[in-house]
Amino acid sequence: MTKTVALVVAAGRGTRMSGDVPKQYRMLAGQSVLRRTLSSFASHPKIDRVIPVIHRDDTPDFAAASAGLAVEPPVYGGDTRQASVLNGLEHLARSPAPARVLIHDGARPFVTVKMIDDILEALSDADAVIPVLDVHDTLKRSDAGIVSDTVDRSGLVRAQTPQGFGFPGILEAHRELAGKALTDDAAVAEAHGMTVTTVPGLEENIKITRDEDLERASFWLQASNETRVGSGFDVHRFEPGASVRLGGIDIPHEQGLAGHSDADVALHALTDALLGALGDGDIGSHFPPSDPQWRGADSALFLQHAHNMLVGCGGTLTHADLTIICEAPKIGPHRDAIRTRIADILGISSERISVKATTTEGLGFTGRSEGIAAQATVTISVSTR
């Protein structure tokens, strides 16, 4: 039985922002807001499934934002956020129902691993858990620009998402209160009689609502990040075959490459470079060659995993530089296709990907056409908070 599902609600129109692009698809430091949000859940080890809820008109934008991420096909939302959440919950009810669900705003891209962990831990002893922040400012009630009252702020908190619930309870609550004008899922739970517990929220866990929020998010990313560089190197020998897999594409050749997975030496080098920049081992420690489940696996899975780890800690891939070392096949005719495929796997612009090829002038094992080597260097930006 699935234990935990993340329901990411991203069907809104974002009418309080300028332009025609919904806020969840606006770019933030090279990636869409929604991709950053989805990656945080897709890379979390305690989240079993990620279900996006989107607007039907956004299907092409969603496909681009979610490319390569371990998320399920989207559910289409309703006319209100509450209706969209109910659509998502009903979708879950028709499949093996989870024990618990985290409901999160798609326009909150800075949810952290610790916040998810804290909510799940508290949810083990509660029906509903939400992250909250204290109110520090003095509150006033204003009517037409005139202050009419000072509001006592004692006991007041600001609610954030993700909000965690036992699945049967929140499904029943949303069914009962469908059509009611309630501002968040905790309000639905409260109206249904559920007890809502709190955990500390994060100031950085902002919801992108207005243009200035996007500017603040971009500034926060730049101000709190440091630049790191990682390198990777990999080698695979030739074996009988009719093509080689390089950079995620198949290139005709009179031999293939030997390896436990698909032996994509280029993607292996890139994966190791990303893991090195993160200081988190190498490809073998994450995908042991002794594990039969990775036999023949598409190496795009390995690269996506490393990139999801980066995004999950609030990081960004700034640039990747890949060099393929071999006498044959000729890489030049396939260079653009490799760049495009790697960019698709990572969900970034191909302008951030460099692919080069060289030979060793007949020297060494590559010069003797015994195999192919690849080396990669990546530059990432990661949060120091």
Task: Note the pLDDT tens digit of each residue in 44-91.
Answer: 989 999 999 999 999 999 999 998 888 999 999 999 999 999 999 999
pLDDT at 385: 58
pLDDT at 46: 94
Specify the length of the chain in residues.
Answer: 385
The pair of structure tokens assigned to 56 is 């039907």
pTM above 0.85, yes or no: no
All residues at 6 or more sequence positions from 128 whose CB lies less than 8 Å from its CB, including other chains? 163, 164, 165, 166, 169, 170, 186, 189, 194, 195, 196, 197
Q: Supply the DSSP string of 176-198, one letter for each residue.
A: HTTT---SSHHHHHHHTT--EEE
| β pairing state of 49-54 and 75-76 | parallel
The pair of structure tokens assigned to 145 is 């620009």
Residue 213 CA neighbour count, 13 Å, CB half: 20
Q: What is the distance in angstroms between the CA of the first residue and the CA of the last residue of the chain?
A: 35
Q: In a 10 Å sphere around its CB, with 0-12 CB exposed, 13-18 middle and 19+ buried, how is residue 181 labelled?
A: exposed
Q: Cα angle vertex 56, ends 169, 41, to 5°?
A: 50
pLDDT at 224: 67
Residue 285 CA neighbour count, 13 Å, CB half: 8
The pair of structure tokens assigned to 272 is 């190791």
pLDDT in tens, 95-131: 889 999 999 999 999 999 999 999 999 999 999 999 9
Question: How far is the C-alpha of 346 from the C-alpha of 164, rounded, in Å?
Answer: 29
pLDDT at 19: 79
Map residue 101 onto helix, strand or coil: strand
Contact 366, 327 (CB under 8 A): yes
pLDDT at 34: 95
Q: Supply the DSSP string of 214-242, one letter for each residue.
A: HHHHHHHHHHHEEEEEEEEEEEEEEEE-S
Map residue 90 onto helix, strand or coil: helix
Q: In a 10 Å sphere around its CB, with 0-12 CB exposed, 13-18 middle and 19+ buried, how is residue 333 labelled?
A: exposed
All residues at 6 or more sequence positions from 347 whose CB lies less than 8 Å from its CB, including other chains? 31, 35, 64, 65, 66, 67, 68, 69, 307
pLDDT < 50 regions, the chain: none
Q: Which domains does the chain have, with CATH numbers?
A: 4-209 (3.90.550.10), 224-383 (3.30.1330.50)
